[in-house]
Amino acid sequence: MLGSLADNDFTDGGRELFDCAAQGRIDAFFMGGVQIDGQANVNLVGLGDYPKSSPRFPGSFGTPYMYFMVPNVILFREEHSPRVLVPKVDFISAPGTSPDKLWRRGGPVALVTGMAAFSFNREARRFRLESVHAGHTADQVVAATGFDFDCPDQVPATPAPSPETLALMRGPLAVRIAKTYPKFAERVFAHPLEDA
């Protein structure tokens, strides 16, 4: 976990993370975005026409680099709405795909939101709906998504985690995460910080 002295052997922060990615030593990476479009482009810069974007966000930092270097990038965003999942991002901070002759080891494999899970087909440059989370329907996902995607005739429900997995996440993992990310752990796990 970045930001943790106990759970991170890096001594040079982000630079060492980027070195590991370049050496092929990182298999998967999770990446969020203010906007994500149907070609898996990610916007972390701002809304509206650049450079007059308003509001402006922190920016890309190493996301484009990680997107090119890490083979399995999983995009995520809790909010599933047309304002987040847009037809075309206002600014491409990190491109989901590249021209055919451009070498690229990494890229998107999935998108997970608060409503559904998608896979990404790099050749077709499109998402495919794989499952819908409990309490939602495929029609709701279509209505809340600003881009077109492939959809099977029958969309399965996202499998619920097993009781053992939930116990692990809410117990030992929550305690470990709370040491580095106390506000996150308290919000997500409602875990008492004094137990961390």
pLDDT in tens, the chain (196 residues): 666 667 667 777 678 888 989 999 999 999 999 999 999 999 999 999 888 888 888 888 889 999 999 999 999 999 999 999 999 999 999 999 999 889 999 999 999 999 999 999 999 999 999 999 999 999 999 999 999 999 999 999 999 999 999 999 989 989 888 888 888 888 888 755 554 4
184 within domain boundaries:
yes
* Length, in residues, of the chain: 196
Same domain (yes/no): 17, 72:
yes
Q: Is residue 5 part of a domain?
A: no
pTM higher than 0.75, yes or no? yes
One domain, residues 103 and 176? no
Per-residue confidence (pLDDT) for residue 196, from 0 to 100: 42
2 within a domain of the structure (yes/no): no
On whether both 36 and 90 belong to a single domain, the answer is yes
Q: What was the pLDDT predicted at 75? A: 98
Q: Are 104 and 20 contained in the same domain? A: yes
**Does 146 share its domain with 169?**
no
3-state secondary structure the chain: CCCCCCCCCCCCHHHHHHHHHHCCCCCEEEEECCEEECCCCEECCECCCCCCCCCECCCCCCHHHHHHHCCEEEEEECCCCCCCEECCCCCCCECCCCCCCCCCCCCEEEEEECCEEEEEECCCCEEEEEEECCCCCHHHHHHHCCCCCECCCCCCECCCCCHHHHHHHHHHHHHHHHHHCHHHHHHHHCCCHHHC
170 and 146 assigned to the same domain: no
**Residue 140 shares a structural domain with residue 99:** yes
Whether 193 and 140 share a structural domain: no
Question: Residue 93's domain is classified under what CATH number?
Answer: 3.40.1080.10
Q: Are residues 71 and 165 in the same domain?
A: no
Q: Is 3 left (phi over 0), alpha (psi -120 to 50) or beta?
A: left
Q: Give the domain extent around 189.
A: 161-196
Indicate if 110 and 24 belong to the same structural domain.
Answer: yes
Whether residues 184 and 136 share a domain: the answer is: no
- The answer to whether residue 8 sits within a structural domain is no
Same domain, 188 and 123: no
Domain count, the chain: 2
Question: What's the pLDDT tens digit per position in 120-139?
Answer: 999 999 999 999 999 999 99
